Amino acid sequence: MIGLLQALGHWSLARVARLGRGHLFLVRTLASLPRLLPRPGLVVRELFSVGVLSLLIIVVSGGFVGFVLGLQGYVTLVRFGAEESLGVVVALSLVRELGPVVTALLFAGRAGSALAAEIGLMKSTEQLAGLEMMAVDPIERVVAPRFLAGFISMPLLAALFSVVGVWGGFFVGSGLLGVDAGAFWSQIQAQVDFRDDVLNGVIKSVVFGFVASWIAVFEGYDAVPTSEGVGRATTRTVVNTALAVLGLDFILTALMFGNF
């Protein structure tokens, strides 16, 4: 029993210490962001690897999610003779929820895991130590550009996901199932509010981008410098980001749409 309590105590202390390290790391990362201003090339390079290279999975996933939403929405709405509202169902589902959330989950799997693995490998091959000994701050040179690139990319990718998803829903609803194209788009125009729906979706994607990028760079930087440690860091990045995004999504949704 005492052994169990001891183990629980150790586990709790380790978690609290890690949480503290993570927050201190975030403060150092944020503090070094202004020093990137004279060197935009560092961020642009990471924007390519984090953002541009994620385009394919985002566009393809957005398209298929849109197809499914169009199909499922039509099957449900047609029972009530409300199939002309399909555009609103698809657009609101994407802009409010699926766009930011699914993009964040895909981002964690594609870009977040790559960031964690890259930084973790740099640590295990002493590249970060080498930078320190060359009087170059690894947080400023390695971590901050990647964090900023992730933070910038996520909302843009989420917006692209939603746009492609709406077009996917339109393709299935109007192109294959015969929903009137004018009704599809005019219902979206009339029912989707910029401030309540679009802006709130953008706020979600900004928050998710911040958290997903933070988790990815921290897990890489805090990885045990062995092949097993880097593997664990990569896995933790995906799992922790997914949990954090889903938890935050509930909180943000409650705050934005819960009328509390």
Q: How far is the CB of 131 from other proteins (least distance, A)?
A: 8
- C-beta of 15 vs 39, nearer to other proteins: 39
Interaction between residue 126 and other proteins (CB under 8 A): yes
Binding test (CB under 8 A) with other proteins, winner from 30, 56, 132, 250 = 132
Stretch that binds other proteins, among 2-10, 83-91, 132-140, 197-205 (CB under 8 A): 132-140
Interaction between residue 135 and other proteins (CB under 8 A): yes
Interaction between residue 37 and other proteins (CB under 8 A): no
DSSP for residue 223: S
DSSP for residue 81: T
3 state DSSP class of 38:
coil
Name the burial class of residue 22, with classes exposed (0-12), middle (13-18) and buried (19+) by CB atoms within 10 angstroms of its CB: middle
Stretch that binds other proteins, among 82-90, 128-136, 201-209, 230-238 (CB under 8 A): 128-136
Q: How far is the CB of 32 from other proteins (least distance, A)?
A: 12
Interaction between residue 254 and other proteins (CB under 8 A): no
- C-beta of 89 vs 128, nearer to other proteins: 128
The token pair that represents 87 in the structure block: 């555009």
Binding test (CB under 8 A) with other proteins, winner from 16, 129, 239, 255 = 129
Question: Treating both helix axes as pointing N-terminal to C-terminal, what angle do 200-221 and 99-107 enclose, rounded to 10 degrees?
Answer: 10
Interaction between residue 130 and other proteins (CB under 8 A): yes
CA distances to 13, 99, 193 from 251, rounded to whole Å, are 26, 17, 21
DSSP 169-219: HHIIIIIIT---HHHHHHHHHHH--IIIIIIHHHHHHHHHHHHHHHHHHHH
- C-beta of 42 vs 211, nearer to other proteins: 42
Stretch that binds other proteins, among 1-9, 118-126, 180-188, 200-208 (CB under 8 A): 118-126
| Gap between the Cα atoms of 47 and 7, Å rounded | 42
DSSP 123-163: HHTTHHHHHHHTT--HIIIIIHHHHHHHHHHHHHHHHHHHH
Interaction between residue 136 and other proteins (CB under 8 A): yes
Q: How far is the CB of 128 from other proteins (least distance, A)?
A: 9
- C-beta of 52 vs 254, nearer to other proteins: 52
Q: Binding residues for other proteins, per CB under 8 A? A: 122, 125-127, 129-130, 132-137, 141
